[in-house]
């Protein structure tokens, strides 16, 4: 079994799915945000300004900044309802249509009678968006909180702004617990860039698609045809009868993770191929791969479902 994306037609396109401009709490114009991502070698970006009343519910129009070698997807970070800690929900909606009806979310605090986060996420998914649970560690998300967002396609496994600036960028615990309960989810790495601090160019997705167009990229995201990275490249990942075979850029370790404590690592110097045995995964209903380089930067496959 080939892991999602690696046998899909086309090529990999590098993109950021979470970032902000000065139409919400970012420091740069949408045009400058797009220019910088293009200049850094990205193939696409999605400016996801905060879809909230104090910013007049923006769905930032980045279509004027598309070029032959760079495109954009419309989107927003949407908010409504309270998490168990009493704070407002943050949900990523990539591919949100420009005419999406706002919730009653006047500011970054919950108000009585507002739409639940679960209902808002379902509305956004029904409207065509790719939905991700944003920065679960930074948000203080509980497992019960995460369970409630049944429309989510993905969880942010890494949020660079939260990780690099406040040391709360990890999403692995929430993602792995949901996977172990049987949820079908993918894993995205993002910047959450504001360009007010070093929160940019640190986490991205590599999407496999036939062309670098918004529709093709969005379809591939929904189909799970991508992996995520802070730097390392994954060229192939395949589940065989005896192990997980991985081809990648030079790495210090290749790790396979599953349910509970199930995990096995192969360590080496400048690893570009590794086979990880399956002996510890007989009770796991899913597997995923993490590739880590000598600097500690990671790349992550999406999970595959297996019969435990």
Tens digit of each residue's pLDDT (9 = 90 or more) over 107-127: 999 999 999 999 999 999 999
Residue 7 has pLDDT above 90, yes or no: yes
Strands 11-16 and 204-209: antiparallel
pLDDT-based confidence at 205, cuts 50/70/90? very high
Q: How confident is the model at residue 22 (pLDDT cuts 50, 70, 90)?
A: very high
Res 280: pLDDT:
92
Which numeric CATH code is attached to 11-228?
A: 3.20.20.140
Contact 197, 165 (CB under 8 A): yes
pLDDT score of 308 more than 60 = no
Give percent of the chain with pLDDT exceeding 70: 99
284-289 average pLDDT score: 96
Average pLDDT over residues 266-285: 95
**Are residues 239 and 304 in contact, defined by beta-carbon separation less than 8 angstroms?**
yes
pLDDT score at 97: 98
Nearest CA to 135 out of 216, 191, 212, 54 is that of 191
Structure tokens at 297: 């930067």
Q: What torsion do the CA atoms of 44, 5, 145, 93 make, to the nearest 10 degrees?
A: 30
Q: Tell me the pTM.
A: 0.97
Choose which CATH entry (1.10.760, 2.40.50, 2.60.40, 3.40.1710) describes domain 234-305.
2.60.40
**Has residue 33 got a pLDDT over 70?**
yes
Q: Where do the domains of the chain lie?
A: 11-228, 234-305
pLDDT beyond 80 at 307: no
* φ and ψ of 3, to 5 deg: -65, 155
Which band of pLDDT confidence, cut at 50, 70 and 90, is reported for residue 53?
Answer: very high
pLDDT at residue 288 in the model:
98
Determine how many CB atoms are found less than 10 A away from the CB of residue 264: 17
| pLDDT band per the 50, 70, 90 thresholds, residue 104 | very high
Q: What tokens were used for 72?
A: 């954009």
pLDDT digits over 127-182, tens only? 999 999 999 999 999 999 999 999 999 999 999 999 999 999 999 999 999 999 99
Please report the pLDDT score of residue 1 as a whole number. 93
């Amino acid at each position: 079994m080939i892991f999602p994306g690696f046998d899909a037609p086309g090529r990999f396109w590098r993109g950021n799915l979470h970032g902000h401009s000065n139409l919400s709490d970012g420091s740069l114009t949408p045009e400058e945000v797009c220019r910088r991502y293009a200049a850094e070698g990205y193939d696409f970006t999605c400016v996801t300004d905060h879809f909230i009343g104090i910013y007049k519910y923006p769905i930032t129009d980045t279509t004027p900044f598309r070029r032959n070698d760079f495109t954009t997807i419309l989107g927003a970070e949407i908010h409504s309802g309270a998490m168990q800690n009493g704070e407002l929900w943050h949900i990523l909606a990539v591919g949100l249509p420009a005419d999406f009806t706002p919730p009653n979310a006047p500011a970054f605090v919950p108000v009585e009678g507002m739409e639940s986060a679960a209902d808002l996420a379902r509305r956004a998914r029904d409207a065509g968006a790719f939905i991700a649970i944003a920065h679960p560690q930074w948000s203080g998300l509980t497992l019960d909180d995460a369970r409630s967002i049944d429309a989510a396609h993905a969880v942010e496994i890494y949020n660079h702004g939260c990780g690099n600036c406040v040391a709360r960028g990890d999403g692995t615990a929430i993602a792995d617990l949901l996977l172990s309960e049987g949820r079908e989810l993918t894993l995205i790495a993002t910047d959450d860039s504001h360009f007010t601090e070093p929160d940019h160019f640190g986490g991205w997705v590599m999407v496999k698609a036939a062309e670098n167009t918004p529709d093709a990229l969005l379809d591939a995201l929904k189909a799970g045809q991508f992996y995520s990275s802070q730097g390392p490249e994954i060229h192939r990942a395949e589940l065989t009868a005896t192990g997980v075979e991985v081809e990648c850029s030079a790495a210090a370790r290749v790790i396979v993770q599953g349910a509970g404590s199930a995990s096995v690592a192969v360590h080496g110097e400048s690893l570009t191929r590794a086979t990880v045995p399956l002996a510890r995964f007989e009770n796991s209903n899913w597997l995923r791969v993490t590739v880590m380089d000598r600097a500690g930067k990671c790349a992550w496959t999406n999970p595959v479902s297996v019969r435990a």
